[in-house]
């Protein structure tokens, strides 16, 4: 197409101190301005000791990125156990396991509350049905 593309790069990762409120705000501002983003894995280390909501989760919430859409399809020419797969998995990604309501009730025992609201359940169901209607 020959159209020049200018990338606005931001590094937001909770490894090597590459994350902060300032960087998160810069990322949000850039995404809201350009209305597009290519996002890789925003890593949260297993030994993470910060807030329960990771930067990845906070980014999703601030931008209201509620639907995780995953396409699964067979690759032509590769024999697999299940051939001719063509499906889409749609999952709500701001509630449930993503609620970040966890605490250590006893040493080594973590409890996680799974909060699901009617409004967000209806929103993801509508999104999924609309997606299926439009995409077939």
Report yes or no on 3 lying in a domain.
yes
Report yes or no on 84 lying in a domain.
no
Cα 126 off chain centre by: 19
Residue 67 near residue 93 (C-beta atoms within 8 A): yes
Q: How many domains does the chain have?
A: 1
Report yes or no on 77 lying in a domain.
no
Report yes or no on 75 lying in a domain.
no
**Residues written for the chain:** 136
Using DSSP, how many helices (H) and how many strands (E) does the chain show? 3, 4
Domain range for 60 is 1-64
Q: What is the pLDDT along the chain (136 residues), one digit of tens a residue?
A: 788 988 898 888 777 677 788 888 999 999 999 988 888 777 666 665 555 567 888 888 889 999 999 999 999 898 888 888 999 999 999 888 877 777 788 998 988 888 899 999 999 999 999 999 999 7
- For residue 82, the 8-state DSSP code is S
Kindly report the pTM of this predicted structure: 0.74
């Amino acid at each position: 197409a020959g159209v020049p593309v200018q990338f606005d790069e931001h590094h937001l990762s909770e490894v090597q101190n590459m994350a902060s409120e300032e960087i998160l705000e810069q990322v949000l501002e850039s995404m809201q301005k350009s209305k597009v983003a290519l996002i890789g894995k925003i890593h949260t280390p297993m030994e993470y000791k910060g807030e329960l909501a990771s930067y990845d989760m906070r980014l999703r919430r601030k931008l209201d990125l509620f639907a995780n859409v995953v396409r699964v399809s067979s690759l032509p020419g590769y024999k697999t156990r299940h051939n001719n797969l063509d499906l889409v998995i749609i999952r709500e990604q701001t509630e449930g396991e993503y609620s970040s309501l966890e605490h250590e009730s006893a040493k080594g025992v973590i409890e996680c509350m799974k909060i699901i609201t009617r409004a967000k359940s209806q929103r993801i169901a509508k999104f999924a049905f609309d997606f299926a209607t439009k995409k077939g």
